């Protein structure tokens, strides 16, 4: 997982002086670690696990530590959460005899070493310890595992669901969705009349932009030939391995290695399907950028040739690339070609040492 704040500057937008993220073209990234700490502190502190059941009482004390990183990327209303955090929670237990006399009071700790967005659909590992390892202490520990662990995992599940909805930026996103798109209130004041006139001009410009976008049907083909100082099978493996993608792009990636399997790269900005795969020889995929109009897909064909051992030439043909995106920006072909060169091929050379 790419670390918060270390994404490629050309994909992650920095705040402008006017606070605008034009067309939501870039990912707006929010650090969610402070919010995560507050979430778990509120949901896991002072929880009653057992209240004199079987002469045992157990409760959580406080969240001792939430470490790691957590962030949310938002682009065009699409939410991509990312987190790798660890959690430490203190707890205490008491055991009494049949007459209600205290036999043992002991403190313990519950740790979750790894909560990750990559394993969001799985229960994380939970470790429970207690300072007194005698027979009564072990009984308290087992009770904490039996009764406390499911409750803690329930709170972790709540955290995962909250992050999927935007975490700390959820309210802001919902406010934007519920806000009226057009202002229809009339006013007799000169200032309000001027504002409405500007809004009308803006609406007319948007309408013209829509006509322009719908009327332009052009597509282009990008062709490139790049040489690398490596074996063809090594370069093929890099392009089909999600962990290596994460390494050289510093962004999230999920890549199937099967024909018909799906992939998602650059934090979800590009998605698609594997159409044809020949190890060390050919990769054919259907590519789609999230900024493109609905229903538009392109085709990527990468042919690997090894004219001599240790030297690989890769020929790229990226066809059906639209000249405009859904916002009317006419730099799609230029940006896509630059992306292949600077964000993929040159990055591979720099990170893996395959330059010639």
Superfamily of domain 219-352: START domain (3.30.530.20)
Instruction: Flag residues of the chain having pLDDT under 50.
Output: 2, 4-5, 7-26, 183-189, 193-195, 197-216
- What pLDDT sits at residue 21? 46
- What pLDDT sits at residue 208? 38
Question: Quick one: which H or E segment has residue 197?
Answer: helix 190-215
Decide if domain 22-174 falls under CATH 3.60.15.10: no
User: Alpha carbon of 334 to those of 300, 303, 331: distances in Å?
Assistant: 16, 22, 5
- What distance in Å separates the CA atoms of residue 281 and residue 300, rounded to the nearest whole number? 14
- What pLDDT sits at residue 76? 59
- What confidence tens digit (pLDDT) does each residue in 180-220 have? 555 444 444 455 544 454 444 444 444 433 333 333 468 99
Q: Which residues contact 354 (CB under 8 A, 6 or more apart)?
A: 228, 229, 230, 235, 348
Residue 48: which of 92, 103, 4 has the closest Cα? Answer: 92
- What pLDDT sits at residue 80? 78
- What pLDDT sits at residue 129? 95
Burial class (CB in 10 A: 0-12, 13-18, 19+), 276: exposed
Residues paired with 31 in a beta bridge: 71
Domains in the chain: boundaries: 22-174, 219-352
Pairing type for strands 311-322 and 219-228 reads: antiparallel
Q: For the whole model, what pTM was predicted? A: 0.48
- What confidence tens digit (pLDDT) does each residue in 32-63 have? 999 999 999 999 999 999 998 888 999 999 99
């Amino acid at each position: 997982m790419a670390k918060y704040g270390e994404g490629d500057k050309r994909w992650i937008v920095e705040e402008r002086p006017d606070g605008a993220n034009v067309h939501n073209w870039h990912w707006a990234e929010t650090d969610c670690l402070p919010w995560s700490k507050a979430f778990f502190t509120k949901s896991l502190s002072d929880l009653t696990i057992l209240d004199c059941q079987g002469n045992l009482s157990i409760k959580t004390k406080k969240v001792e530590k939430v470490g790691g990183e957590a962030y949310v990327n938002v682009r065009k209303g699409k939410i991509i959460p990312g987190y790798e955090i660890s959690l430490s929670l203190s707890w205490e237990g008491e055991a009494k005899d049949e007459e209600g006399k205290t036999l043992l009071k002991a403190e313990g700790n519950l740790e979750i070493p790894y909560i990750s967005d990559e394993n969001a659909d799985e229960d994380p590992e939970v470790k429970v310890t207690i300072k007194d390892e005698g027979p009564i202490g072990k009984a308290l520990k087992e009770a904490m595992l039996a009764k406390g662990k499911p409750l803690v995992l329930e709170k972790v599940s709540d955290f995962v669901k909250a992050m999927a909805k935007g975490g700390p930026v959820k309210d802001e996103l919902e406010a934007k969705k519920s806000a009226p798109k057009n202002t229809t209130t009339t006013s007799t004041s000169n200032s309000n009349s001027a504002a409405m006139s500007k809004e009308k001009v803006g609406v007319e410009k948007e309408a013209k932009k829509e006509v322009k976008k719908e009327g332009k049907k052009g597509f282009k083909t990008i062709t490139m030939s790049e040489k690398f100082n490596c074996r063809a099978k090594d370069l093929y493996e890099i392009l089909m391995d999600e962990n290596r993608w994460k390494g050289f792009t510093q962004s999230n990636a999920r890549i199937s290695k099967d024909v018909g399997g799906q992939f998602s790269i650059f934090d979800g900005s590009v998605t698609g399907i594997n159409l044809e795969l020949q190890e060390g020889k050919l990769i054919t995929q259907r590519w789609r950028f999230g900024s493109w109009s609905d229903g538009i897909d392109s085709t990527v064909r990468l042919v690997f040739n090894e004219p001599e051992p240790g030297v690989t030439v890769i020929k790229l043909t990226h066809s059906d690339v639209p000249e405009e995106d859904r916002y009317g920006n006419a730099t799609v072909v230029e940006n896509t070609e630059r992306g292949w060169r600077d964000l993929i091929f040159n990055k591979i050379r720099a990170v893996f040492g395959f330059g010639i």
